[in-house]
A and B are shown apart, each in its own frame.
Chain A
């Protein structure tokens, strides 16, 4: 989803400038079949041209950055960076191979994120509130950071446009402008990032009345194109930013905020771990 960049502002921002645009409507990539075909092609080269370029440069920067940090995390970064350089120069990615992914035959300038290149997450939750209320809350994007923990802030800049700031590893942030590309009152909101986003992304949320007075089914589809394609998400996993789990938790928090008015927490509570004296 929006903002799983490892690179951040001071890292290798250019990595995020993709040659492809996101799907105009979220959830409409429809390239699964094409990707299946791709997987059967060349065994040695399974990384697309642009991605190789991005991998090599980004990997080098990542390795350098990792080495300068000197911490355990830094070493991990450096190792990842090294592997990115390798896949960039050879066009072969062991992780892609393991995952059965091949992006070598991607088409430049395609209208959507190639299925395996971008990360797509679809999740749903049932919230015991009317659709109209949920819609109103979500449509004011400035509310999103209340339940999407990776977002630092969202500011509405016009009726259709907003500026998003997301947290990235190592205390950095990634930013983008987004615009609403489709909306139907109380039913649907769809948005996508605009050009020059740090992380290209798109999302949609649908609200549908659940049967028998069970509230509203909320279905979210998020798509983003992290630096380094699928490998970016694999890296992201190392940082506990697993997108599926993250979106699921985001939706759980949305439900908590809408139903209970607050998010349950034990953060900051007392315990014997802060005991001052034994007995």
Chain B
């Protein structure tokens, strides 16, 4: 089959690779019908994620049709149309049973690697480095899905791929970010980062009862989308003094909660790599860690800072004093996908939301390398790329 493989920084290629096989009784194989490039794939593309190996197949926003099931798969059958969550969960461990799906104990075959860095390992992920399991991703013609009865949800016929594809990651991720804000009537929610996750966080904040949503970014077309689609008020990060502006806009109180949907491109596993990256981050003084610091400073007393943005390792100059003395709540983590997929599918079915609004580019899988370049450089007003095998 054809698959998009990682070979190094800024080097991804479509290769002919063997078709995936059932390796465990609870596996299924799906034929990919639509997949997408995620903002976090750019971390891999930019070479920030360690424990990637040449030839790794990328892609964790996947959907398709079941073509084969293992002997222990009960709920799925050949021909079912499914969306596959980016996290892999066994369904039986303490964490799965507590609905903390992205913390599954049993799905990361390389748990020891993550334990070295985090103490304990999160769940395995598709196409996201060996530390997270080393599972082949779905930017390919076929995908092997472990624990297939737990993750994938069936999609009714007649529902177009593009409407449901983002149930695989970014819609639930934006939704959980908003849910973590514990939004109360009258609340103002500020969202840093108007990429796809930010866009869904904006929509979700309104779905969860926010009074106002203020979106912050510096890319004009992303702010425009936040305004047009998300009905958010917008602030341009590059030319406005955000803290003062937010304070002003909220009558001097500050936003009740802040969502940091930017993330940090400073990841690492080995201590020396970590140190390097921490140093790099400090010297670069990019606006990215700045977004989190700003969110913590801007948040009103007793408010919540919710972090869907991906962080990998250590953070320099984290304003814990501000968080402590203002009594903030910090919520974060990979999305507990299975909590949200079915309820959000229902919201899509009922017409509350059509997630396809984020799509700006539709490419063939063959053109995926070009898609990465376009997305990385935000060329051609690129916000979201979907791929068709």
Q: What CA separation (Å) do A264 and B92 show in the bound complex?
A: 13
A264 touches B55 (CB 8 A): no
Interface status of A219 (Cβ within 8 A of chain B): no
- For A, the interface residue count at a CB cutoff of 8 angstroms equals 31
Candidates B91, B106, B107; contact of A255 at CB < 8 Å = B106
Q: Choose one: B5, B133, B134; the contact of A272 (CB below 8 Å).
A: B5
A279 within 8 A of B: yes
Do A259 and B134 have beta carbons less than 8 Å apart?
A: no
Q: Would you call B20 and A266 a contact (CB within 8 A)?
A: no
Kindly list chain A residues whose C-beta atoms are within 8 Å of the C-beta of B107.
260, 264
- B88-105 at interface with A (beta carbon < 8 Å): 88, 90-94, 97, 105
Q: How large is the interface on B (under 10, 10 to 19, 20 to 34, 35 or more residues)?
A: 35 or more
Q: Is A36 an interface residue (CB 8 A)?
A: no
Q: Are B20 and A270 in contact (CB under 8 A)?
A: yes
User: What residues of A have a CB within 8 angstroms of the CB of B2 in the complex?
Assistant: 279
Residues of B within 8 A of A269 (CB): 20-21, 23, 135-136, 144
Closest chain-A Cβ to B34's Cβ sits at a distance in Å of: 20
Asked if A274 contacts B18 (CB within 8 A), the reply is yes
Contact indicator per residue, chain A 105-148, by CB within 8 Å of chain B (1) or not (0): 00000000000000000000010100000000000000000000
A248-B106 Cα distance, complex, nearest whole Å: 14
Query: Contacting A260 at CB < 8 Å: which of B13, B17, B19, B93?
Result: B93
Instruction: Flag if B15 contacts A270 (CB, 8 Å).
Output: no
Q: Among A255, A260, A272, which residue has its beta carbon within 8 angstroms of that of B15?
A: A272
Contact: B136 with A271, CB < 8 Å? yes
Collect the chain A residues with CB atoms within 8 Å of residue B3's CB.
Answer: 270, 272
Inter-chain CA distance A269–B146, complex, in Å, is 11
Q: What is the minimal beta-carbon distance from A213 to any residue of chain B, in angstroms?
A: 9
The answer on a CB contact under 8 Å between A264 and B21 is no
Judged by a CB distance under 8 angstroms, whether A256 is at the interface is yes
Set of chain A residues within 8 Å of B91, measured between Cβ atoms: 260
Of residues 256 through 279 on chain A, the ones whose CB sits less than 8 Å from some CB of chain B are 256, 259-279
Instruction: Kindly identify, within residues 275 to 331 of chain B, every residue whose CB is under 8 Å from any CB belonging to chain A.
Output: none
* Candidates B19, B105, B111, B134; contact of A266 at CB < 8 Å: B134
Distance in angstroms from A24 CB to nearest chain B CB is 34
Contact yes or no, B106 A272, CB < 8 A: no
Which residues from 330 to 366 on chain B have a C-beta closer than 8 Å to any C-beta of chain A? 366
A13 interfacial by beta-carbon distance below 8 Å: no
The answer to whether A259 touches B17 (Cβ under 8 A) is: no
A267–B112 alpha-carbon span in the complex (Å)? 16
Chain B neighbourhood of A273, CB < 8 A? 53-55
Shortest Cβ gap from A263 to chain B (Å): 8
Nearest CB in chain B to that of A271: its residue = B55
B57 within 8 A of A: yes
A248 to B112, CA, bound (A): 9
A residues 3-43 near B (Cβ < 8 Å) are none
Contacts of A275 in B (CB 8 A): 5, 15-17, 55
Residues on the A chain within 8 Å of B26, using CB:
260-262
Q: A269-B144, A279-B13 are in contact. Are A262 and B24 (CB under 8 A)?
A: yes
Question: In residues 47-64 of chain B, which contact A (Cβ within 8 Å)?
Answer: 53-57
Complex contacts, B17 vs chain A, CB 8 Å: 270-272, 274-276
- Is A215 an interface residue when CB atoms closer than 8 A count as contact? yes
Contact A128:B146 (CB < 8 A) given known A270-B57, A272-B15, A274-B18: no
Given contacts A264-B124, A270-B20, A271-B17, contact A126 B94 (CB under 8 A): yes
A-B contact pairs, 23 of them (CB 8 A): A128-B97, A256-B106, A260-B106, A260-B147, A261-B25, A261-B26, A261-B72, A262-B72, A263-B109, A264-B90, A265-B23, A270-B1, A270-B21, A270-B136, A271-B57, A272-B57, A274-B18, A274-B55, A275-B15, A275-B17, A276-B16, A276-B17, A278-B13
Q: Which A residues fall within an 8 A CB radius of B?
A: 126, 128, 214-215, 245, 248-249, 252, 255-256, 259-279
Known pairs A264-B109, A270-B20 / 19 extra A-B pairs, C-beta < 8 Å: A128-B93, A249-B112, A255-B93, A260-B106, A261-B92, A262-B25, A264-B24, A264-B124, A266-B135, A268-B21, A269-B135, A270-B17, A271-B56, A271-B57, A272-B55, A274-B17, A275-B5, A277-B16, A278-B13
The 6 lowest CB-CB distance pairs between A and B, nearest first, are: A272-B5, A272-B55, A273-B55, A260-B90, A275-B15, A260-B106
